[in-house]
Amino acid sequence: METTESAVSFAHDIRPLFRQVDIDHMGRIGVQLDSYGYMSNRSNAQNVYDYLVGTKEPRMPPGGPFWDGHQLDLFSRWMKDGCAP
């Protein structure tokens, strides 16, 4: 049986990954984790991803818990597939 991965969307899959504390914390420095308009900008999304995986420091979310492989893969796939709303 062949399985197909469903499309990843910001509203259904990505936005719920961010806790309110993360949104509030990052909002103070202009990063709008809960805004599709902000996050759908590929440069902004890549920047957030770099902090989530630890390529840039300090790693997000501050103090953890850090995202697991599934969450990071979902975010990466969302970007790769064109940042669907």
For 80, counting Cβ atoms within 10 Å of its Cβ (0-12 exposed, 13-18 middle, 19+ buried), the class is exposed
Q: What is the pTM assigned to this prediction?
A: 0.89
Residue 41 lies in a domain: yes
Residue 2 lies in a domain: no
- Give the pLDDT confidence score for residue 4 in this predicted structure: 56
Q: How many domains would you assign to the chain?
A: 1
- pLDDT tens string 60-82: 998 899 999 999 999 999 999 99
Closest to 22 in 3D by CA, of 60, 79, 49: 60
Who has greater pLDDT, 6 or 19?
19
| Residue 25 maps to a domain | yes
User: What's the rounded mean pLDDT across residues 48-71?
Assistant: 94
Is 8 a member of any domain?
Answer: no
Residue 1 resides in a domain: no
Domain of residue 21, residue span: 15-80
Residue 4 lies in a domain: no
